Amino acid sequence: MSHVYTENDILNIQNEGFNHTLPELCLNVISRISEEVGAPTYIRTPIFPKPQKRKKNNNTVFNNSLKAKEGLDLYFTHIRSNLNKITSENYEDVSSTISENIQLLIDNDAPSESLIKIANMVFHIATTNKFYSSVYAGLYFDLIQRFPIFDTMFQESFKNYLELYDNIGSLCENDDYDAFCEQNRTNSERRAFTSFIVNITKKNIISNCELFDLCWKLQTNFDNSILEENKKPLCDELCENIFIIMTEGYVCLKNEQRYASLNGKAQIIKNTKVKDMKSLTSRSLFKYYDILDYIEKQ
């Protein structure tokens, strides 16, 4: 029968501790381990020699792998793995590896659908990771210089950017939870793409004027939407992305001739009362306070 501890037993152990004597066999084992670990000859981090590897001819391996779909998938996985581990610290090595793998695909006449698949994968990862947005923008800039397909893909997506605001969801956690999570993921990816656009502008892939025009369209959409009923989710999401462009992209916007007009629109929203607009929320209002505070500090 197991012993049952009462509340008083637990409190006594907590306050006074307890005595327990280990069996002699356990004490002998502990003593022997202690002596071995404390010995001068004991190696705490064992070193295992690496076997010598023979050099392989990458082109030969690649040519053989192209004969099977699995070979293409291996290259696809390798490129994706490097994309996911790239940082500002390892940028030179990892970006070079990614470019070389793409070049190998081209040099060995990989099917065009494989190149499109690779380009789509690179674009998706680069535009949906906001934390490393500047790093991915740098990588994408380098890839554009070598592979025209990446510029074509970006320009097409940039042209259709405003379509990302169609059908903005307004679910809450108590509704369909899976759909709610998907809605949050979509919003996060949209904001990451906006940040990517800002960073790619800094690389002169699009002009400061084009970035300004995009922000102006978002602001105009916001100004119109706050006057309508049931547009709060849209307005909040527009505001989030306007914030990204006007803060992260301030250096690109500040010298545009129309910048004062954009700044003036933000001032107007700041001085607007939530109750006076059908779809203006406190969340959006405070975001404009943050925008103007940021600009004032520059």
- Per-residue pLDDT reduced to its tens digit, 6-15: 656 665 665 5
Residue 202 has pLDDT above 90, yes or no: yes
Greater confidence (210 vs 61) lies with: 210
Which of the four pLDDT bands, split at 50, 70 and 90, describes residue 28? Answer: low
Q: Is the pLDDT of residue 90 over 90?
A: yes
pLDDT band at 110 (very low <50, low <70, confident <90, very high): confident
Listed in sequence order, the residues at least 6 apart from 273 whose beta carbon sits closer than 8 Å to its beta carbon are none
Question: Which pLDDT does position 114 carry in this prediction?
Answer: 87
Q: What is the pLDDT of residue 173?
A: 59
**Percent share of the chain, pLDDT over 70:** 74
pLDDT value of position 166: 86
Q: Span 61-86, mean pLDDT?
A: 72
Q: Where residue 252 falls among pLDDT bands split at 50, 70, 90?
A: very high
Q: Which residue has the higher pLDDT, 208 or 23?
A: 208
Mean pLDDT, the chain, as a whole number? 83
Label residue 41 by pLDDT band (50, 70, 90). very low
Share of the chain above pLDDT 90, in %: 63
pLDDT score of 207 more than 90: yes
Residue 62 has pLDDT above 50, yes or no: no
Determine the average pLDDT of the residues in 120-149.
95
Could you tell me the pLDDT band of residue 46, with boundaries at 50, 70 and 90?
Answer: very low
**How much is the average pLDDT of 176-182?**
82
Dihedral angle sign, alpha carbons of residues 150, 152, 153, 155? positive
Does 40 score more than 60 pLDDT?
A: no
Tell me the mean pLDDT in the region 73-80.
Answer: 86
In this structure, what token pair is assigned to residue 112? 């065009």
Q: 286 falls in which pLDDT band (50, 70, 90)? A: very high
Of 115-119, 204-208, 209-213, 265-269, minimum mean pLDDT range: 115-119
Looking at residue 177, its pLDDT comes to: 81
Residue with the bigger pLDDT between 171 and 55: it is 171
pLDDT surpassing 90 at residue 54: no
